[in-house]
Structure 1
Amino acid sequence: MCVAEADPILNQPQIYDPYEYALHDDPYPVYRRLRDEFPLYYNRKHDFYAVSRYADCMTVLRNFKTFINGKSTTLEKEVIPGSLPFILSMDPPDHTRLRHLMVNQFRPHNVAPLEEVVRETARKLLAPHAGTGRIDIIADFAAKLPMAIICALMGVDPADEDMLRGWTDDIVHREDGSNEIVEVNITGTRNLLGYFEEMIQGRLARGEVGEDIVGQLIAFEQQGKLNHAEVLGYLYLLAIAGNETTTKLIGNFTYQLWENRHERDRLIGDPSLAAGAVEETLRIDGPTQMQGRETAEPFELHGHTIPAGSKVAVILTSGNRDERHYDDPETYRMDRGSRDHLGFGGGLHSCLGAALARLEGRIALEEMLATMPDWDIDLASTRRMHSAYVRGYTHLPLTFTPRSAA
């Protein structure tokens, strides 16, 4: 839906395009300009609005009746063909029903018992590299740890983890400057959903539903609490969210603690600060950069009317760097203690798996510090993923003092 021609918002310079690869290396100067000069921004090319200040982000996230998820949580005009409805793309009452079915599974007290298996998995992944002095912290560690945990919770064969991770990467990828759905997105979706369908049918044929997440969802369907499309949609979201964001979180705090080495030195002296480092990374360089909403009715903001049916980008990490809300927000301080950040979204659709991501991030950092506390980054060999929504590395090669030499 286009903006009325008389609206001066049409005259804004086109400085923010989340699909342009050039933005992905360092979007934060652009975010600052949006906050200071264009708190309500309009992108003519892709026909969406954007909010970038903390208070405005919270307004959109909390007002779920006006800013809805039901038509899509992305800015694209079309959804990936073959994709199914999942909890993130629902509004009440369906969202409420689905969230309540699984919310207990991911509450902190139910996630805490996973600490031993997460730590054991982290140590196994790091061990082969401890004596070499080299590791690609994404390919060798961060991409494998969260996928291993979410796959274990779903009962996925460990031999299939790399395959599922590749499909989730394909689903979130976007071409440079384009918001078009392309074949790799479609194929990734088809493969992931096909895998879970085969998994479910195999269990039903054997008469062994299981007690893991897949088994619970099958039972809910049998009890009439979910339909089959909702079961597949749930698994689709868990596979993506349980992999992509935590992988990028680990890579991002690896970079931030290398760039802010005085903070890493403090961590080496006091590893109990690891949880604070995870929170500060979620605030200042969180993997989920932006979420999309759509207006169900017109909404007034900063002297302009956002028409009904408009796409709206909520730039979460811009809000997290808003000096109107945080003191000295561009400085990385792991003892800041700001758990009101937008790293897990906010409002009705705040991240269901936040406790699990925090646990995995903290343990990953603790084990990294125990194995290679003096890591250095080979900047020339780093590679970023390209997505409008998730920011992080696909390759982040490190060098460090081998354990034998240390």
Structure 2
Amino acid sequence: MIETAPPPLDYDPFDYRQHDDPYPVYRRLRDEAPVFHNSRYDFYALSRYDDCQRAVRDFKTFTSAQGTSLEELKAQVELLINTDPPVHSRLRHLTAGLFTPARVAPLEAAVRDMARALIAPHLAAGRIDIIDDFAARLPMAIICRLLGFRREDEDLLRGWTDTVVHRDEGVFAMPDEGMQATLKLYDYFNAELADRARGASREDIIGLLMAAQAEGRIDHQGVLGYIYILSIAGNETTTKLIGNMCYQLHRHPDQFAEVLADRSLISGLVEETMRFDGPTQMMARTTTRDVALHDRVIPAGKKVALIFTSGNRDERHYEHAERFDVHRNPRDHLGFGGGLHACLGAALARLEARVAMEELLSTLGYFAVEEEGLARMHSPNVRGFTHLLVRFVAR
């Protein structure tokens, strides 16, 4: 029997063929090329847990100041995710207190009410698109509430943020549609700020940022950038996390049965999905000096992809890392990044995802994914579905 050689190893996050199941490529990266160089786009990639963990904690070597996407920044705007200390510390301090577990806990009742309201119209049909009908709407409703945006604008804002993160196949740049969506978001934010400036102050995130601007702690562009990042992060990652949880339960019926029988496992389901199939695939950094690692040298000034979902499946860190196990409860995963840039809204995302699954399981019971109706988004950074249809016993 003649053994065929495996295809040449290639990590190309702009290749749609890798989006359905990138994990075999990630395994080969960890084993064969833990420091991988993509010569087409001239970036490097780290795929092992320890390497990604060290990189996110060493901002002096792996800087975020040149952006956290592999593409070059088209405009240098002071964004929270694109800064290092001391600027990052100043910006993060403005709202960090609003996103602690204690501060987001009172939102649980509102999240639960919204979840029930979104599910209810679909009970008689016995069919719901987990993304389009539910997961895409719930997080956006919450972040719009926190920012103080109008409920009737949620669909509009969600459409623009979805367009911003999409990437065309094989194109190493934000598409024109993404740039136009960014401009529309900024126009919307500017109009909102101008309208608020003419009225009374309000106690929400935008009100807090406007007060900070009045005190000279952030400028107008900084306020716009802050709202921009919160609008995207508050929508995309939690939406995709909820969809990925549903898909993994479908893929693992034994785990599904356990979670249905014991709802206390849902928090573990959230963490294990963040580890095993999290929405944030990778974030980029730029080297400030030559970095010698695994017998290779990453030159100074090069973009480096930190592949978090590969690190999360690293057998060097997790036993049986390629096994989905809701009992694992891996709180040290890289799903929310790490170091100074650890996800600001992690506590909110955990709350939304947990409550969403509690309500889906309590209301729908067992459900089955219609695999022929699955549709994935295409982004080098974010992994998840745009459509995930499920069937259940009609109520």
Match 1:103 to one of 96, 121, 132:
96
RMSD: 1.1
When structure 1 is superposed on structure 2, of 140-149 and 221-230 the one drifting more is 221-230
Choose the corresponding residue for 2:262, options 270, 279, 283. Answer: 270
Identify the match of residue 48 of structure 1 among 28, 34, 43: 43
**Aligned pairs, how many?**
389
d(CA) in 2 for partners of 1:111, 1:231: 22
The answer to whether the aligner puts 1:121 opposite 2:114 as a matched pair is: yes
**1:142 aligns to what?**
135
- CA apart distance, 1:272: 1.3
1:84, distance to aligned residue in structure 2 (A): 3.0
The separation in 2 between residues aligned to 1:63 and 1:341, in whole angstroms, is 17
Give the C-alpha shift of residue 78 in structure 1. 3.7
Separation (CA, whole Å) in 2 of partners of 1:17 and 1:126: 37
- Aligned residue runs from structure 1 range 190-209, under 5 A: 190-206=183-199, 208-209=200-201
Is the CA contact 1:258–1:377 (under 8 Å) kept in the aligned structure 2?
yes
Instruction: For residue 304 of structure 1, report the CA deviation from its aligned partner.
Output: 1.4
1:248 aligned partner: 240
Q: Secondary structure at the match of 1:394?
A: strand
Q: Shift of the alpha carbon at 1:381?
A: 1.1
Alignment correspondent of 2:53: 58
1:385 deviates by 0.3
Counterpart in 2 of 1:173?
Answer: 166
What letter corresponds to residue 200 of structure 1 in structure 2? L
8 Å contact 2:34–2:47 — kept in the other structure? yes
Aligned to 1:3: none
State the alpha-carbon separation in 2 of the partners of residues 211 and 242 from structure 1. 19
Shift of 1:402: 1.0
Structure 1 segment 317-356 matched on structure 2, within 5 A? 317-356=309-348
Q: 1:240 and 1:196 mapped to 2: Cα distance? A: 13
Match of 1:151 among 122, 128, 144: 144
The match for 2:27 is 32
Partner of 2:383: 391
SS in 1 for 2:144: helix
**Map of 2:4 onto structure 1:** none
For structure 2, list consecutive stretches of 5 or more residues without a partner in the other structure: 1-6
Q: Is 1:279 the equivalent of 2:271?
A: yes
| 8 Å CA contact 2:9, 2:28 repeated in 1 | no
Cα distance between partner residues in 1 of 2:323 and 2:347: 25
Letter in 2 for 1:134: R
SS in 2 for 1:389: coil
Q: 1-side partners of 2:9 and 2:28: how far apart?
A: 12
- Whole-Å Cα distance in 1 between the matches of residues 234 and 33 of structure 2? 34
Distance of 2:77 and 2:114 partners within structure 1: 32
* Distance apart, 1:205 and its partner CA: 1.4
1:80-104 Cα deviation digits (max 9, x unpaired): x5x7321000011000001111110
317-326 vs 13-22, which moves further: 13-22
How do 1:288-367 residues align onto structure 2 when only pairs under 5 Å count? 288-367=280-359
Match of 1:4 in 2: none
TM-score, length of structure 1 as denominator length:
0.94
1:279 shift after superposition: 0.4
Partner-residue secondary structure (3-state), 1:25: coil
SS of equivalent residue, structure 2 residue 285: strand
Mapped contact 2:166–2:178 kept (Cα < 8 A):
yes
> Cα offset for 1:132?
1.2
TM-score normalized by the length of structure 2: 0.97
**Would you say the 8 A contact 2:66–2:73 is kept in 1?**
no
Q: Quote the sequence identity (%).
A: 53
Distance (whole Å) between structure 2 residues aligned to residue 74 and residue 180 of structure 1 = 10
Indicate if the aligned counterparts of 1:84 and 1:232 stay in contact, CA closer than 8 A: no
Residue 19 of structure 2 aligns to a residue whose secondary structure is helix
Asked if 1 retains the 8 angstrom alpha-carbon contact of 2:160 and 2:185, the reply is yes
Q: Distance in 1 between matches of 2:313 and 2:70?
A: 22
- One of 189, 200, 221 as aligned partner of 1:229: 221
Question: After alignment, is 56-65 or 240-249 more displaced?
Answer: 56-65
Matched-pair contact (CA < 8 Å) for 1:14–1:43: no
Question: Are residues 1:213 and 2:208 paired?
Answer: no
Partner SS, residue 211 of structure 1:
coil
**Equivalent in the alignment of 2:81:** 88
Q: Are residues 1:261 and 2:261 paired?
A: no
- Counterparts of 2:162 and 2:292, CA distance in 1: 37
1:21 corresponds to which of 13, 16, 26: 16
Bigger mean CA deviation after superposition, 154-163 or 178-187? 178-187
